[in-house]
Amino acid sequence: MQKAQGFRHELKYGIDPFSYLVLRQRLSAVMRRDSHAGTDGRYQIVSLYFDNCCDKALREKQDGINRREKFRLRRYNDDCSALFLEKKQKVNGLCLKTGCRIPQDVCIRLLSGEPDWLPPDGHPLLQELDFQMKSQLLRPKTLVRYLREPYVYEAGNVRITFDMALQSGLAGIGFLDPKAVFVPAIEPGRMVLEVKYDAFLPSFIADALQIGHIRTGALSKYAVCRKFE
């Protein structure tokens, strides 16, 4: 079972290939690679985001609403045996992620639209998703796929990731299909740098991230991939 980590700072930057090479060299000297990454230091993520018929999650993101949340299903490296449901909340600029592992048969029933997909002993997060699907007509909306290169540092619980090769699945279908069709969602070479930490960011890591022409922004991989609809 995944656990809530508590509210964290989360900064996002759009960067170019040159900035990536510079930052990657600097961070490699002061942080370690995430143990979950493969031999190339990366892993693939496929997320299926939920939204309602009025695109509430998308509109709240675009409008910069101070308190908002979204649900997503997630899998890694085309492994459909390990599936996760996550809820991501943002309050006063801080982020909170809660999650749980979801059995594959439950996921299949959920995606098929079965009215009674929720198991009797379902995790509270599954129960919350079921309630929102019934009360707010929350439904699977868009597939998002990308490669992630992560770096971690224990003090401050710092996690810095480069998300590259961002692709859109065009619709909320094919989450469990390794042959699902995706299309590029951003220009070749462009990627998203994410900086996450708890109470503080060590000064030497903050210094390593200094490149004059990059600026933090309200980037959302979900919003970027929704532009194809």
**Whole-structure pTM value:** 0.92
Report how far residue 201's alpha carbon sits from residue 204's, in angstroms, rounded to the nearest whole number: 9
DSSP string computed for 29-81: HHSEE-TTS-TTS-EEEEEEEEE-TT-HHHHHHHHT-SEEEEEEEEEETTEEE
pLDDT tens digits for range 70-127:
999 999 998 999 999 999 999 998 999 999 999 999 999 999 999 899 999 999 999 9
pLDDT tens digits for range 174-195:
999 988 999 999 999 999 999 9
